[in-house]
Chain A
Amino acid sequence: MKRGGDADVYEVFARFGDDPQEPIRWLGSVRSGDPELAWHAAKEVYTRREDCTLLWVAQRSAMVVSELGDAEALRSPSRLGYRVPAFPGRHRRARTKAAALAASEVSS
């Protein structure tokens, strides 16, 4: 990961519509010398049609963003296979199978 670039670039995030469960979307960026003015610039540029219910701007240089090299560390299911629901299922089936095998060996 790395720190974002230019100090006068602000990334713009918004939610549209009245559904509070709707995720906040990344829309793009604006350039401004001042955070409040950046918010107003974002409002003028990005909220011209749909009903915007939430608008955030964040200074790019204050953000920590992932890089290409972080991809592996971020990919949870392939790296941490034991956390997915199928894993305990497989675990249980393997145990049942082993027990059945042991039982059949005893009886033979």
Chain B
Amino acid sequence: MTVLAPDEVDESELRLARKYELWSELPEGYREAAARIASFQALAEVVGVLPFAEWIDRAPDYSRKQMLVAKVQDEVGHGHVTARVAEDLGVPREQVLTDFVEGRTKLLNIFHYGFESWEELGPAALLMNSSAIVQFQALHHGTYLPYTRALRKIEKEESFHYHHAMDMTHQTMVYGSAEQRQRAQEAFEIWLPRLLAYFGPPDSETYRSNPMYKFGLKVRSNDELRQQWLTKIIPVFQELGIHVDPELARFDDERQEWDYASPDWVETKRIIKEGGPRYEQWRSHVAGSLERNAIYREVALARAAA
């Protein structure tokens, strides 16, 4: 497999060359597919922020707290812009949340967890942000322009989150105690398989006939993205002083691709279906927020209608 950089995309490839606006004539099934991507991301942005939000009060210094608040606000903003894309395609933003609260939409595996220690945040966030960046760099070449326009804004902010996460990990690895460094090391080992699973199951023989792929809404295959991500992120962790066990991830010079410990797919599926350790907490948090804010939404909508 040749590993391309995430932004090396041949846009003349037929399925990616034709671009669409909200007002374009869309191929059969395209609208629903684009709405699914946008609403799924809107939910991921809003729920994905909750594990970070609960650490704002516990940030060890003021500037760290400022950066963490900025990150949380950014992610909620990403939720807003992707929800707007979904709304224009016919999925109201309330539905994005109520589908989740009432169990109709499943969460990606990585959003079912929380952080057990401050030292866990840096490595976990670094793994998450780098994988998001690799995904977005590819999706940037997708065919639905309102969505790629939204990504333009999102990518700039993700770059800050990435550097913030790297800085947090660096602080632990350079100035932390042996015990703190150990926690960062463990965080890397716990989160790496989760992120490997986040990219989705290995490519099937037929992934090119997947409608999302044919529409150019999915730009790269799961395995391509996973390889690109490992190429980008593993050296970063090594540079930070994290030991990368070759059993977990190792570059095969001959095949020019990464070997990695296969994630536990059975467990991943179970978590997504039945809920991971913090699923219920995030779900009830969103439910509570929807209920608490109902009156404001009603007033705003009544005012818009007046």
SS of A interface (majority): mixed
- Are B23 and A8 in contact (CB-based, < 8 A)? no
- Are A8 and B300 in contact (CB-based, < 8 A)? yes
- Are A31 and B146 in contact (CB-based, < 8 A)? no
Contact partner of B300 (CB less than 8 A), chosen from A27, A34, A44, A48, is A34
- A32-80 at interface with B (beta carbon < 8 Å): 32-34, 37, 41, 44-46, 48-50, 65, 67-68
| Band of interface residues on B | 20 to 34
Q: Chain A residue with minimal CB distance to B160?
A: A49
- Are B80 and A45 in contact (CB-based, < 8 A)? yes
Number of interface residues of A (CB under 8 A): 22
- Are A30 and B304 in contact (CB-based, < 8 A)? no
SS of B interface (majority): helix
Rounded to whole Å, the gap between the CB of A66 and the closest CB of chain B is 8
Q: Chain A residue with minimal CB distance to B83?
A: A31
- Are B304 and A27 in contact (CB-based, < 8 A)? no
- Are A31 and B299 in contact (CB-based, < 8 A)? no
Q: Chain A residue with minimal CB distance to B298?
A: A33
- B52-106 at interface with A (beta carbon < 8 Å): 70, 73-74, 77, 80-81, 84-85, 87-88, 93
Contact partner of B149 (CB less than 8 A), chosen from A27, A49, A50, is A27
List residues of chain A with CB under 8 Å of any chain B CB: 7-9, 27-34, 37, 41, 44-46, 48-50, 65, 67-68
List residues of chain B with CB under 8 Å of any chain A CB: 23-25, 70, 73-74, 77, 80-81, 84-85, 87-88, 93, 146, 149-150, 153, 156-157, 160, 299-305
23 contacts between A and B (CB under 8 A): A7-B304, A7-B305, A9-B84, A9-B87, A27-B149, A28-B81, A28-B85, A28-B153, A29-B84, A29-B88, A30-B84, A32-B304, A33-B302, A33-B303, A33-B304, A34-B300, A34-B303, A34-B304, A37-B300, A44-B77, A46-B153, A48-B70, A67-B23
